[in-house]
Copies of this chain bind each other. A is one copy, B any other.
């Protein structure tokens, strides 16, 4: 069978800074809807204050990961970004650029390949609630 590309969107309303949203099931639903058996799925965040990665989705790490990001981009320091926009989210941009807006995962036999304790997550790094439309690109047969 020849490979095809299909696009889907995952729409989210976030609660603002450090809300970490488990999108695993939504990605799996898109794969099923696409009818794809084998290939790759890419999840992409259009926007510069959100990121996508994987994590074991349990309450402790939902505190520990933001705490680590605070060490990289503390809340209480000056950001030159403030000169341009005065919107208080310089730290959000910095964290998003370091984690990155793109994640690619294999699809095998119609299933997302993940570890037992591994979930796909969107990280809202902006300082206020946001509406987000993630792009799910499925490339496979």
Contact = CB atoms under 8 A, between A and B. Distances in A.
Interface of A: 2-5, 7, 38-40, 42, 44-48, 53-56, 58-65, 68-69, 71-73, 79-85, 90, 93-94, 96-106, 108, 113-115, 117-118, 121, 135, 137, 139-141
Contacts of A98: 53, 65, 68-69, 98-99
A69 B115 CA distance: 22
A79 B64 contact: yes
Nearest to A47: B115
6 contacts: A7-B106, A39-B139, A44-B105, A55-B97, A65-B93, A68-B94
Given A44-B113, A118-B46, A83 B68 contact: no
Nearest to A66: B94
A61 to B, nearest CB: 5
Contacts of A44: 104-106, 113
A134 to B, nearest CB: 10
A100 B54 CA distance: 7
A84 B85 CA distance: 40
Contact of A84 (B46, B58, B83): B58
